[in-house]
A and B are shown apart, each in its own frame.
Chain A
Amino acid sequence: MTDQDLVNRPLVKAWLWWALIWLTFFPIVGVLVSIKFHHPGFLDGIPWLTFGRLRPVHVNGVIFGSFSTVFLGLLYYIVPRLCGVRLYKEAWGWGLLYAWNAFLVLGTVSLVLGYNMGLEAGEFEWPLNLLRFGVLGLITVQVLGTVFLRTERRFYVALWYTTAALIWTIMNLILGNAVLPYVEDLAGVNSAAMHGLYIHYIVGLWITPAGLALIYYFLPLSAKNALFSHKLSLLGFWGLAFFYPFVGTHHYLYSPIPHWTQTLSIVTSMLLIIPVWTVVVNFFGTMFGRWGTVAGGGGADNYAAKFLMLGAVYYLLGCFQGSVEALRRLQELTHFNDFVIAHSHLTVFGTFVVWAVGAAYYVWPRVTGRRLWSDRLASWHLWLTIGGFTVMAVGLTAQGFVQGSMLEYGVNFVDTVKEMKPWWVARTLGGVAMDVALLLMVINFYKTASDGLPFEEGATAPPQIETPVEVVAKGSWIESPSTVFLVAGFAFFFLAVGVQGVTPWLMAETRTASVEDTVTKAVIQVADYTPEELQGRQVYIREGCWYCHSQYVRPVTGESFRWGPVSQAGEYAYDRPHLFSTRRIGPDLTRVGRKYGDDWHAAHHWNPREVVPDSVMPAFPWLYESAKDGEAPELNEDGKAMVAYLQKLGTGIGDWREGFAATQVAAGQVLNAGPQSQEDLLALGRIVYERRCVGCHGVKGDGAGPAARFMNPRPRDFTTGIFKFRSTPSRDSLPTDVDLYSTITHGLWGTAMPSWQEISDHERRAVVQYIKTFSDRWANEVVPAPITIPAEPPITSAALEKGKTLFVANCMLCHGNEGKGDGPMAPVIKDTWGQPLKPANFTLAAGLPGGVKLGHDAEHLFKTATTGVGGTPMPVFGEHLEPEEIWDIVHYVQSLRVSAHEAELMEAGLKDGDRERARSRIWAGISSAARRGDLGPNVIALRDEAGPMEAVEAAHDGR
């Protein structure tokens, strides 16, 4: 039987024509995406061309389009030749080709239109999943049918991998497309644990075995040498089949997924070194004695071998990188950054696409009947790939270490993004070289088919061996189709899913909405999303925000200092699907809720670079109503919903933000340095200002920056030299440097002014000096000495009672009887610039609009009550009241927040037995007197059997 009798060449050729299209199209999408990293304005403002829409097109496209189309097409060539019979139900191949391309085209369109399931590598909606499943299922039937009808007795290693890849992927698609998105109970950390498996099965149990099938088949043929070792093939296959199914959890190390599953994933990731080195030794062994011929030779077969061995080198490097990046210490530095992207490109492109390319070089002349048109073009293809890919892989690996080290050192996140931009330019150039190389291949293949010289198999065929005279070996049971099918395909897969996915799912600790309140350490329950927040979550998924923003805070590299408390499992109880993410191109958003005001989000999504000049985030103008002339555009329903969702994030673990950023700083001596050192800081201060402040406060410091039109309250006009919070005594006096430093460090809750504790102390000191240049007052006036804050007296029920009386007498008109900012004067008061002003609601949690802006800290409140609030009608009470009286007012105001805080905890499920301890801890968080134990027993004790709200009232009254 001849090759012509076994292989349907027109069918293989048709698959490969389409493969050539996808081999060029989807990597080009990657270049477009890459350009956006260093030139974020490129193709910006168009919904279907944002990073969040194009990224899944690139990733899914390269996996299922560029690589898989070649692989599936070549199965119609490989399987009949390895089995000695024509493919089972061969005619299906035409329909499957059209169906596969329909899946790729419709899938791409659906992704750019924003249809996204929110699961990485599992983004497609169900009709497309069904189409993909149907094609792969029928091809599996064709392959298995051919295998079981084969006349070749021995079952070659390429067929082990092919069979296993198809079986694994059929089951994995059920897991990722039918179970993960639709099983109601599979939420939060369990969704992440299962998704970690799914996402890595796409790589490890689809393209890896498929790629290995290609190189095992085509390397001996193209190098014209025997495969080095059948024993190595066995060790490599079974090593991969046993270890790979367990490794997926390493995508979410340091997350709240049970740690033992993370440890198992680390161990099996490292053990993968065994099969990887095994197969690479096999490939290099196969090249023994053939290096010179292949390296120096022309023609399709030699170029096939060159690409296959190039991919083998990348496989060795990429897989070693993948194994060691699963180690906890390395992952601390490299996870979420470009090191991981280097790994994914080394494997998916460098290895598997390059192997597919090598295989195509071998097959194309045989299915077209033409010799390769140009060795020179093939050479350019090879060397542009090597050059471009080296720049990309080395650059991405290095920049991963650079960014990881910067973050571990404590550098502000956006600064690390800025540092990446030159590297990203190099990545784009590397990608362009790789894409040009693929285009050259397409041209070469086109010209081969149209103008190539006739191809004769005999001229390039491997040395023929005489007809056997001895009994043929069938191979042992361990390499039989049934063993591969049942043990590798099913048993190992279910074992891993059972251990790594189902077992943690059955554990109570992963199925709870209970968390530890960060302030009181009591157990509370996380609230479910509101309908608006859920709508916002869908917008977040649709726009692909989760491709750039992770949602879990790890207990490493200072993340809990940068973003907030470490993540707890219960926080994610209502997350279906989870949105942990695997990448941080922007900062983690787990704790972004209440960090900024809604107005900041409105300005930021309209044009991120107006607010954060170094941002690479896309603009989202379609989340706004049409803007009226001169007015800031308003968020539409989708935009408001997304902001509502963002403001919810991180708020389920209690009022942690109250104590997160320091209100009091003890750096006065350093800050009030001599005039020369202050002048030296100006140059740095200008840089800091232009990168962080200018968007709102404007180039001239007049509060008229490009984003200011969105802000309410308006950004501070620095030219007046009037600041809200000061320690200097008289009305609207100049603040000290420490005052400005404190405001910058802490931020002003409920407004667009964020905390800048993430930038260095040096930068904050410098920008303080620069801000002072905007007003002549610093040149013409003396900054008064700050007030002295007397030691905080004990908090007693008598003091609270007195404080209430004083509060009603002095504060009620604006702040209202209950301190909610709703006094009779509240609707009419205005600031110095005539803008309406809302008195603070003392009962609100940190960061909520309308609440206090610099915290409920006792000394801060004392200072504010004593010196007044600059630019507002808030009196300077230090001129009318004694310090003891001000302390009483402060403690009463604090008690309002303590009671409200306790009520919030009761609503979140705080048990009665935990209330006293909780109240004590809330007080300790905002009062130094409480921390040293000067908290009267009547202030925290529950006095009666009253219900929760009555008890809170009782606490207010000091009863």
Chain B
Amino acid sequence: MSGDERETPGGKEYHYTYAGIREREGRVPLWLWLVAVGLVVWSVYYSIVYWNAS
């Protein structure tokens, strides 16, 4: 026996049978992607400029 996956009004959802937990497939909000990309760009810049500097 195992859990199941199904479409709900909130999107695709998985149900863990024994734990009773439901988990939506969900999404990553656009603003969070922008934060992530921004931080990665900053990291490249910082690494280049301050690689060996204190």
A residues engaging B (CB < 8 A)? 1, 3, 6, 78, 80-84, 151-154, 156-157, 217, 220-221, 225-233, 235, 253-254, 259-260, 262-264, 266-268, 270-271, 273-274, 277-278, 281-282, 285, 328, 461-462, 465, 467-468, 470-473, 555
The answer to whether A152 touches B3, judged by C-beta atoms less than 8 angstroms apart, is: yes
Bound complex: CA of A228 vs CA of B22, how far in Å? Answer: 9
The answer for the CA separation of A259 and B8 in the assembled complex, in Å, is: 52
Name A253's closest neighbour in chain B (CB-CB).
B54
A780 to chain B, nearest CB (A): 57
In the complex the two chains form, is B21's CB within 8 Å of A472's CB? no
What are 29 A-to-B residue pairs whose CB atoms are below 8 Å?
Answer: A81-B20, A83-B18, A84-B2, A151-B2, A152-B3, A152-B17, A154-B14, A156-B21, A221-B19, A221-B21, A226-B8, A226-B21, A227-B21, A229-B26, A230-B14, A232-B26, A254-B54, A262-B54, A264-B47, A267-B47, A270-B43, A274-B35, A274-B36, A281-B32, A461-B20, A462-B21, A468-B4, A468-B5, A472-B2
Give chain B nearest CB distance to A555 CB in angstroms.
Answer: 7
Contact B28 A232 (CB under 8 A): yes
Chain B residues at the A interface, C-beta cutoff of 8 Å: 1-6, 8, 10, 13-29, 32, 35-36, 39-40, 42-43, 46-47, 50-54
B35 touches A273 (CB 8 A): yes
Contact B32 A277, beta carbon cutoff 8 Å: yes
Expressed in whole angstroms, the Cα–Cα distance for A82 and B16 within the complex equals 7
Cross-chain contact of B39 among A152, A254, A274 (Cβ < 8 A) = A274
Residues on A with C-beta less than 8 A from B35 are 273-274, 277
**List of B residues within 8 angstroms of A83 by Cβ:** 18
What distance in Å separates the Cβ of A557 from its nearest Cβ neighbour in chain B?
13
CB distance from B17 to the nearest CB of A (A): 7
Distance of A81 Cα from B24 Cα, bound (Å): 19
Q: How far is the CA of A473 from the CA of B7 in the complex (A)?
A: 12
CB distance from A350 to the nearest CB of B (A): 23
Q: How far is the CA of A467 from the CA of B16 in the complex (A)?
A: 11
Question: Do A465 and B18 touch (CB < 8 A)?
Answer: no
In the complex, which residues of chain A have a beta carbon less than 8 angstroms from the beta carbon of B47?
263-264, 267
Contact yes or no, A259 B53, CB < 8 A: yes
A231 and B5 contacting across the interface, CB-CB below 8 Å: no
Closest Cβ of chain B: how far from A39's Cβ, in Å? 39
Minimum distance in angstroms from A668 CB to a CB of chain B: 39
Provide the bound-state CA to CA distance between A231 and B11, in Å: 12
Could you say which residues of chain A place their CB within 8 Å of the CB of B27? 229, 231-232
Distance (whole angstroms) from the CB of B21 to the closest CB of chain A:
5
What is the bound-complex CA distance between A793 and B16, given in angstroms?
92
Nearest-CB residue, chain B, relative to A229: B26
A84 touches B1 (CB 8 A): yes
Name the one of B17, B19, B23, B52 contacting A230, with C-beta atoms under 8 angstroms: B23
Given contact pairs A230-B14, A263-B47, A470 touches B20 in the complex (Cβ within 8 A): no
3 closest A-B pairs by beta carbon, nearest first, are: A229-B26, A468-B4, A226-B22
Whether A6 contacts B54 by the Cβ 8 Å rule is: no
Q: Are A470 and B28 in contact (CB under 8 A)?
A: no
- Majority secondary structure of chain A interface residues (helix, strand, loop or mixed): helix
Question: Of all chain B residues, which has the CB nearest A462?
Answer: B20
Beyond A259-B54, A263-B47, A465-B15, is A270–B2 a contact (Cβ under 8 Å)?
A: no
> Are B6 and A465 in contact (CB-based, < 8 A)?
yes
Cβ–Cβ contact B50 & A270, under 8 A:
no
B21 and A230 contact, CB distance less than 8 A: no
Cβ A263 vs Cβ B51 within 8 A: yes
B32 touches A267 (CB 8 A): no
B contact residues around A78 at 8 Å (CB): 19
Q: Are A227 and B24 in contact (CB-based, < 8 A)?
A: yes
Question: What distance in Å separates the Cβ of A625 from its nearest Cβ neighbour in chain B?
Answer: 46
Q: Roughly how many angstroms separate A555 CA and B53 CA in the complex, as a whole number? A: 12
**Chain A residues whose C-beta falls within 8 Å of the C-beta of B20 in the assembled complex:** 81, 221, 461-462
Q: Contact between A555 and B3 (Cβ–Cβ < 8 Å)? A: no
For A323, give the chain B residue with the smallest CB separation: B39
Contacts of B42 in A (CB 8 A): 270
Partner of B3, one of A153, A267, A268: A153
- Selected contact of A259 from candidates B3, B40, B52, CB within 8 Å: B52
Among B18, B25, B28, which residue has its beta carbon within 8 angstroms of that of A152?
B18
Docked complex Cα distance between A738 and B13 (Å): 82
Q: Please pick, from B19, B43, B51, the residue contacting A156 in the complex, using a CB distance under 8 A.
A: B19
- The contact of B5 among A156, A229, A470, by CB within 8 Å, is A470
| Highest count of chain B CB atoms <10 Å: which of A217, A226, A229 | A226
Partner of A81, one of B1, B19, B39: B19
Complex contact B54–A555 (CB within 8 A): yes
Query: In the bound complex, do residue B40 and residue A271 qualify as a contact, i.e. CB atoms below 8 Å apart?
Result: yes
A470 and B6 form a contact (CB under 8 A): yes
A235 B28 Cβ-Cβ under 8 A = yes
Whole-angstrom distance from the CB of B13 to the nearest CB of chain A?
Answer: 6
Point out the residues of chain A lying under 8 angstroms from B16, CB to CB.
82, 152, 154, 156
Chain A residues closer than 8 Å to B39, beta-carbon distance = 270-271, 273-274
CA distance A495 to B7 in the complex (A): 40
Query: Which residue in chain A gives the minimum CB-CB distance to B7?
Result: A470
Interface centre among A78, A254, A273 (most CB of B within 10 A): A273
Query: Are B43's CB and A271's CB within 8 A?
Result: yes
User: A258: nearest residue on chain B (CB-CB)?
Assistant: B52
Which B-chain residue is minimally distant from A464 (CB atoms)?
B20
Collect the chain A residues with CB atoms within 8 Å of residue B4's CB: 465, 467-468, 470, 472
Which chain B residues border A153 with CB–CB below 8 Å? 2-3
How far, in Å, is B26 (CB) from chain A's closest CB?
Answer: 2
Q: Using Cβ atoms and an 8 Å threshold, which residues of chain A touch B54?
A: 253-254, 259, 262, 328, 555
Q: Is the CB of A278 within 8 A of B2?
A: no
CA distance A328 to B36 in the complex (A): 21
Flag if B21 contacts A220 (CB, 8 Å): yes
With known contacts A235-B28, A263-B47, A473-B5, A82–B23 Cβ distance under 8 A: no
Task: State the CA gap A263–B42 with chains docked (Å).
Answer: 13
Cα-based distance from A78 to B27 in the complex (angstroms): 26
Give the shortest distance, in Å, between B18 (CB) and chain A (any CB). Answer: 5
Contact (Cβ within 8 A) B18 A230:
no
Complex formed: what's the CA distance from A232 to B27 in Å? 7
Contacts of A84 in B (CB 8 A): 1-2, 17-18
Q: Give the residues in chain A near B8, CB-CB below 8 Å.
A: 226
**B residues less than 8 Å from A157 (CB atoms):** 23
Please state if A156 and B23 are interface contacts (CB–CB under 8 Å).
Answer: yes
Q: Which residues of B are found within 8 Å of A6, using beta-carbon distances?
A: 18
B43 near A226 with CB under 8 A, answer no
A213 to chain B, nearest CB (A): 12
Of chain B, the residue at the smallest CB distance from A219 is: B21
Which of B13, B18, B40, B42 has the largest number of chain A CB atoms within 10 A?
Answer: B18
